[in-house]
Structures are given as structure tokens and as C-alpha cells.
Structure 1
């Protein structure tokens, strides 16, 4: 099973997202990616956030752990705090799926981008139960 880390950066009721196709109907995704051999989860998260968003982050709380058995992937998602960098300062080809843009999106706009009400509620409420194994990605509304 592959391990993937993602970061949730929320500032002023806005979440940092990639304008990028997903496996489902959404055309926006959370930044993150595969943990490389020899990397800690924290190192992988910092690297992926920098590569995909241009933002330097400091990892915080573990928000949730879930799995996508069809893709044979475990997702580990952390809260992150922006500590530097420039939103959108990314290079070509940093991901296997093209990144069309990077921006902070109002939480109120998430359902219009294909995110579920459940995921929006988790973002608004600060992820109660943070640090829990959530099972399938569908259980967090993704």
C-alpha cells in the first residue's frame, strides 16, 4: 500500500486548494502527494506543499487517516500553517496530474467545486475527532 500525505491550510475561512482533476467529479484537490523512500511524513508534507503550492508550511495536528482501497493508498492528512513562500509559485510537471492553479477558496464555495457538505462541515468545525482513523475516504466526504 502506498502512503500519501495531504495538508489542509485554512486561513480566514478559506482553504488552500489545487485547481486539478481528481479521481472523481471534483476539479479541485487538497495539496499533497506520495511519501518517498527515506522521508518522514513531515518531510514529505513540507516538500509536497512547496512543490504543488509554492507555500512553505509547518505541519500541525494529524487531522485524519483514511484509505482508498481501490487505489491501494493510505491518506494521512495534517493541518498545516503557512510560514512563507508565494501561493502559486510552482514549477511545470511537479505532479502527475497537471496543476492549473493554486488559490485560497472560501469554505462556502467548496460544495460548488464538488466537495461534500460533510467535508465543509469538518473544515468549519475544526475537524472534531482529529487524529482518528476514518476508514474510507467517503467517510470524510471526499
Structure 2
């Protein structure tokens, strides 16, 4: 009997803080994690680089055009391998897009009160990427 491993899905996420130190979060409109809050992002499509996928996903989910920066870290959630990058906003207007039920900048108090995706708070804490206000 051979152990068949499910094919992993490469994903990217964008970690953004505004000038006040608030963190950008989206409320997921679809599974997995429908209704929960997380950092914006999604799947890397065939032929895309992480950077290209991140720019596309951020624009689709948040209305913002971003410039991806350094890799903050990597997590595995089931079959999803997620590479999260620190980003800077270049332009756009904040609005919930296709895979987001809502989008907002959150401070520390709001962050701790939201229903977050599993492991998000601990992961961001470990990377020192929590809201800074």
C-alpha cells in the first residue's frame, strides 16, 4: 500500500500595517474559514511568481495595489503552503473584493476581539507582525 500525499497548493498572503500600526485583515467570504478574519491573499496561479500572485490577490480582495517586500514567514495549513510577505501600499482605495466579505485596518484591541483563522495570532506574534497600536 503506497501513501499518496495530496498535492500541496502554493498560496501567498500580504502583511500590511498602516502609518498608525494597524494591520489589514479581511473577513473570508469562502471556505476554508468562511466568516473568519485573516490576512489577505490566495493561490498562486500556474506561471505566476509569488510577487505577481500577491499583487493580483491583494487588488482583488482589498482594492489596494501593493509592492511585495520581504518574506515574513511560511506556514502549512492542511494542503495549503502559505508564504506571507510584508507589503507596502502603492495606491488604490480600500474595499472588500471577490473573496472578502469585509476588509479593515485593525488595532490591537480589535484584533484580539475578532474571530481569526486558526493559528493566525500565534503565527503573527512569532513573526512580530501583530498590530502595533
Determine if the TM-score, normalized by the shorter chain, exceeds 0.5: yes
Q: How does 1:1-142 map to 2 (within 5 A)?
A: 1-11=8-18, 12-20=20-28, 23=32, 27-68=36-77, 70=78, 72-88=79-95, 90=97, 94-95=98-99, 99-115=100-116, 118-119=122-123, 121=125, 122-124=128-130
Q: Mark the CA change 1:62 to 1:117 in structure 2 (over 3 Å): closer, same or farther.
A: closer
SS of corresponding position for 1:88: coil
TM-score computed with the length of structure 1 as normaliser: 0.72
Give CA-to-partner distance per residue, 1:105-136, whole Å, 9 cap, x none.
Answer: 1133211113465346322499xxxxxxxxxx
TM-score computed with the length of structure 2 as normaliser: 0.77
Which has the higher Rg, Structure 1 or Structure 2? 2
Query: RMSD of the TM alignment (CA)?
Result: 2.4
Q: Mark the CA change 1:5 to 1:101 in structure 2 (over 3 Å): closer, same or farther.
A: same
Confirm or deny: 8 A CA contact 2:15 2:84 kept in the other structure. Answer: yes
User: What is the number of equivalent residue pairs in this alignment?
Assistant: 118
